[in-house]
């Protein structure tokens, strides 16, 4: 197993926009993710605060990425599916303290390494 540290990126977007998130994440070096269909529970105060209309149906995209590419992936997601886009996405990362089932070849550490595969 690699000594690389990982972070989980979570992105919540309007339903149907998970492909935009994954395309942006892959361009930044992520290999893949998991999409869960969800339903938001935001209220009118949240809509007023963010100055947007919130659709209740959501896609939750989860990605496990090396710490070395996390900022690039988050930035790419923001550019592609952020709050000012149709996807109206928010994204954040969480540290991963343990991961099993990963090998040194299962995740790239840079976008250039992914292109070698």
Q: What is the pLDDT of residues 11-61, one digit of tens each?
A: 999 999 999 999 999 999 999 999 999 988 777 777 777 777 777 899 999
Query: What is residue 103's predicted lDDT score, i.e. its pLDDT?
Result: 64
Q: What is the pLDDT of residues 59-93, one digit of tens each?
A: 999 999 999 999 999 999 999 999 889 999 999 99
With 0.85 as the threshold, say if the pTM is over it: no
Nearest of 10, 13, 3, 6 to residue 84 by alpha carbon: 13
SS3 89: coil
Between 28 and 98, whose confidence is greater? 28
Asked: is 6-116 a CATH 3.30.70.120 domain? The reply is yes
Query: What is residue 2's predicted lDDT score, i.e. its pLDDT?
Result: 53
Query: What is residue 104's predicted lDDT score, i.e. its pLDDT?
Result: 56
E-assigned strand segments in the chain: 6-14, 34-39, 57-66, 90-96
Largest distance between two CA atoms of the chain: 48
């Amino acid at each position: 197993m690699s000594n690389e540290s990982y972070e989980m990126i979570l992105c919540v977007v309007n339903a149907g926009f998970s492909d935009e998130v994954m395309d942006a994440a892959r361009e930044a070096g992520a290999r893949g993710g998991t999409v869960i269909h969800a339903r938001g529970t935001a209220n009118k105060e949240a809509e007023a605060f963010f100055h947007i209309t919130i659709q209740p149906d959501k896609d939750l995209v989860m990605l496990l990425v090396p710490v070395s590419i996390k900022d690039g992936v988050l930035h790419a997601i923001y550019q592609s599916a952020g709050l000012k886009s149709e996807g109206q996405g928010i994204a954040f990362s969480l540290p991963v303290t343990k991961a099993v089932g990963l090998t040194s070849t299962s995740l790239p550490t840079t976008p250039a390494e992914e292109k070698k595969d």
